Structure 1
Amino acid sequence: MATGTDVAVIGGGIVGLATAYSLRRAGVPVTVYEAGQPGGGQSAGDSRIFRHAHADVRLARFAARSRALWREWGDQLGAELVSTDGAVALGPGIDEKVDVLDDVEDVEVRRIDAGELAERLPLLAAYDGPAMLDVHGGSIHAAIAVERLSAFLGDAIVRDHVLTVRPTAGGAVEVRTGTRRAEHGRVVVAAGRGTAALAHGLGLSLPVRNAAHVRVSFDVAGKAPSSFATLQDSSGAFGEAGVYAAASPDHSRYGVGIAEEVQVNGDGRSVDPDALDALAERTIAYVRRALPGLDPTPVGHVHCWVTTLPWGDDGVAVWEHEGVSLVAGHNLFKQAPELGRVLADVAAGGSLPDDLRPGARLGHA
């Protein structure tokens, strides 16, 4: 026997939770299907970077709308969800980033010198190259956001794995899980690595490339700094040209990653653990050189899948098919509030903005 609510969201990561949150606040009944712990897949970890800087000005404007919603979420959920410490970027390309963001309303960025850099990020080794501050960027308190959203949704979250999604002859959308068959008015698929497989069952081929990644956490060596900006380092000054880092909410830890991926094995489902180890070791070596204010002994690892689209590392798109919306992309945590709002609006009968259609290649590098 079919049962269901108006909208189903498949995937309990940050984008799925954001979509369900927007739907419930709008009074739309929603069910979230999540096989594991909400936020335990590609959304895992204590912190993420919020930044406005993107090569595609459309995505920078999208980020600005998300930043405003992060503030609203904080008020509604009773927690600071993005720090006020700012986001620092190092290396070549600073002028281009500033030029793009100068055209985005409500975004404040500026070049900074070595003195202000040391104030914003006191754990960093001496550096006097190009640097930029995104004033309203900062560390997203990722685990807190997931916990508060999950608590708000409560029993709307169903712990079960989804096998298939398909339109029915009656105009609904059927969702089959391990223990049920339900029909919903609309379905939003935000299942990370699982999105392409569910799309395939609908006859869609999403151009998603899968890989794996590792982030490593380190304790602050001494007293936690009062200012702890996020870091994006493309300078190469410390031996790596693609590093990012974000602080824990209490400033006691810094999560650091190298923006490289470990490719999947030939089976398409597994990765070489030695390759993950090698990436983690490079991260530790970078911390020893670049961040002397951290204890270089790792205190945590986050291993996750990465799903990217062919037009850029920040690429994002939404596919639509007979009552089903499917979202795919990378680096989506910061964009989740606005992306969830848009997906909720579409599920409630609105139109998908042109910029999010695949042909628009939003986030084109």
Structure 2
Amino acid sequence: MTRTAVVGAGIVGLAAAHALRARGADVTLYESGPPGGGQSAGQSRIFRHSHEDPRLVALVARSRTLWRQWEQEFGLELISPDGAVAIGAGVEEKLRTLERFAEVPVCRLPPEELHARLPLLAGWTGPAMLDVHGGAIRTLDAVAALVHRLEGSTLREHVLSVRRTGTGSVELRTGTTCETYDHVVLCAGRGTAPLARGAGIDLPVETGAHVRLTFALAAGAPDPGGSAPGTGRGLPTFQDGSGDFGETGVYAAPYPDGRRFSVGLSADTPARPDGGLADPAALAALADRTVAYVRRALPGLDPRPVDHVHCWVTRLPWGDDGVGIWSEDGITALAGHNLFKQAPALGEALAETVLTGGIPGHLHHEEQLGRSAG
């Protein structure tokens, strides 16, 4: 039985530990704080198939299948059935890419249907699309279900170092313990690169800080159950790449109760080499820009934020959706951005890497999965 440590109990670390246990490995999961409390924090994320790299679309489609399997295993709805809406000039290119995948149904949305599905949105008559099997990920439920499955396998410890012993095992040191394992998997968010570097693996991760705000529905918006008036369905997630409302790369997702929407900009403020923020005031500026966008684009929301999520983000240099696995001599590390939706497939891939020694699919970092077209 392979004795494995997984460092980091965000959604990907949880998924990796779950997949390893399902395959018979002896797993210990290390996390210094509440599971899902770092880069996986907050309620609701977008599940979308649309990516510039078709190889990443295929990985996400696999992940959608695994999310359905999790729903059956846990007895929970983990992705809402209401789809993912996108608007802007990039819609036609997104459709051309997704239409290559028979398992990913998509369609264009004329203005009247767009408004019926998303009455929160201000008037928009440009290109719009629906990713039918997209939706809002029930993030807190997913984390809680995995934590329950892994009960008894998690240690609340801060990992200081990992190193190869030279005798075929890997040493892992925390504040109060020292253990050896056959394999160590690093899924520790911004802590992954420093731990990997100490073991001789360089990850070209760029770190920044991000803000996501939550807004309540305004008076006259969809009812508390989340149904768009007259449609009998819940509200979809939303991406705006148009620029017509003053921002590009905006995303929004409804909470499970249908009363609130989380909204964020695809922007962050960079970190200094020592790990601190280069400009702490920039986070406040991002929040102000988000509020201003909601006032212009989403009049169905009350523009006074009711909640904030601040988190670190880790990007690879080849693209905002870039992801990669590094694996050498008993140490495997994962890095990337926008990974929540991919968690089941990434957990499966990390388990395969540990147990077979080979990185599956296109996830080896040299393949630059999620590479931007530009």
Q: TM-score range by the shorter chain?
A: over 0.9
Please report how far the alpha carbon of residue 102 of structure 1 lies from its aligned counterpart in structure 2 after TM superposition: 1.1
The reply to whether residue 334 of structure 1 matches residue 331 of structure 2 is no
Query: Aligned equivalents of 1:204 and 1:186: distance in 2?
Result: 15
Task: Give, in angstroms, the shift of residue 342 of structure 1.
Answer: 0.8
CA distance in 2, matches of 1:184, 1:266: 31
The answer for the alignment partner of 2:27 in structure 1 is: 30
Q: Distance in 2 between matches of 1:74 and 1:354?
A: 24
2:231 corresponds in structure 1 to: none
Q: State the alpha-carbon separation in 1 of the partners of residues 357 and 253 from structure 2.
A: 35
- Whole-Å Cα distance in 2 between the matches of residues 188 and 84 of structure 1? 33
Q: Which residue of 2 aligns with 1:274?
A: 281
Counterpart of 2:216 (choices 208, 215, 219) is 219
Mapped contact 1:34–1:161 kept (Cα < 8 A): yes
User: Which secondary structure does the structure 1 equivalent of 2:304 belong to?
Assistant: strand
Counterpart for residue 95 of structure 1: 92
Q: Does residue 9 of structure 2 align to residue 12 of structure 1?
A: yes
**1:214 aligned partner, one-letter code:** V
Q: 1:295 aligns with which of 291, 298, 302?
A: 302
Contact 1:5 1:183 in 2 (8 A): no
Deviations 1:336-362 (A, max 9, x none): 000000101221235212511111000
Cα deviation for residue 26 of structure 1 reads 2.2
Counterpart for residue 310 of structure 1: 317
Matches within 5 A, 1:157-236: 157-222=154-219, 223-224=223-224, 225-226=226-227, 227-236=234-243
User: How far, CA to CA, are the matches of 1:355 and 1:206 in structure 2?
Assistant: 17
Aligned pair in 2 of structure 1 residues 157, 271: CA closer, same or farther (>3 Å)? farther
Instruction: Report the Cα distance in structure 2 between the residues aligned to 1:266 and 1:349, rounded to whole angstroms.
Output: 35
Alignment partner of 2:340: what SS?
coil
Q: CA deviation at 1:271?
A: 4.5
Structure-2 separation of matches of 1:183 and 1:122 = 55
Q: Counterpart in 1 of 2:79?
A: 82
Matches within 5 A, 1:120-131: 120-131=117-128
Aligned residues: 362
3-state DSSP of counterpart to 1:286: helix
* Letter paired with 1:347: V
Against the structure 1 CA distance between its residues 22 and 85, is the aligned structure 2 distance closer, same or farther, given a 3 Å change threshold? same
The 10-residue stretch of structure 1 (4-13 or 171-180) with the greater mean CA deviation from structure 2 = 4-13
Contact map agreement 2:315 2:322 (CA 8 A) in 1: yes
1:25 positional shift: 2.0
Contact 1:61 1:105 survives alignment (8 Å): no
TM-score of the aligned structures, taking structure 1 as reference length: 0.96
- Structure 1, unmatched stretches of 5+, are none
Q: Once the two structures are superposed, what CA deviation does each residue of 1:283-338 show, in whole Å capped at 9, x if it has no partner? A: 01111111111111101000000100010000000001111110000000000000
Amino acid at match of 2:258: H
Check conservation: 2:252, 2:264, Cα contact below 8 A.
Answer: yes
- Report Cα offsets for 1:154-184 as digits up to 9, x if no partner: 1211100101111122211111111101111
2:67 aligns with one of 62, 67, 70: 70
Query: Whole-Å Cα distance in 1 between the matches of residues 29 and 160 of structure 2?
Result: 14
CA offsets, 1:77-128, max 9 Å, x none?
A: 1111100110011101111111111112310111111111112212111111
CA-based RMSD: 1.4
- Is the partner of 2:168 in helix, strand or coil? coil
Contact 1:354–1:360 (Cα < 8 Å) also in 2? no
Q: CA deviation at 1:266?
A: 5.7
Question: How much does 1:28 deviate?
Answer: 1.8
Q: Is the 8 A contact 1:8 1:184 kept in 2?
A: yes
Counterpart code for 1:362: L
Please give the alpha-carbon distance, in whole angstroms, between the structure 1 residues aligned to 2:201 and 2:67.
32
C-alpha distance in structure 2 between counterparts of 1:220 and 1:203, whole Å: 50
SS in 2 for 1:288: helix
Q: Runs of 5+ in structure 2 lacking a partner?
A: 228-233
Any residues of structure 2 matched to 1:26-65 within 5 Å, and which? 26-65=23-62
Deviations for 1:178-222, whole angstroms, at most 9, x for unmatched residues? 110111111110011011101111112211000110000011124
1:180 partner amino acid: T
Which stretch has the larger CA shift, 346-355 or 79-88? 346-355
Query: After the TM superposition, which of the residue ranges 294-303 and 261-270 deviates more from structure 2?
Result: 261-270
Aligned partner of 1:113 among 110, 114, 121: 110
CA offsets, 1:35-82, max 9 Å, x none? Answer: 111100000010100000000000000000000100110111111110
Q: Aligned partners of 2:42 and 2:356: how far apart in 1?
A: 33
- In structure 1, the partner of 2:145 is 148
| 2-structure distance, mates of 1:354, 1:78 | 29
How many Å separate the matches in 1 of 2:217 and 2:21?
Answer: 39
TM-score, scaled relative to structure 2 = 0.94
Contact between 1:190 and 1:328, CA under 8 Å: does it hold in 2? yes
Q: What is the distance in 2 between the residues matched to 1:136 and 1:174? A: 43
- Structure 1, 73-82 or 58-67: larger mean CA deviation: 73-82
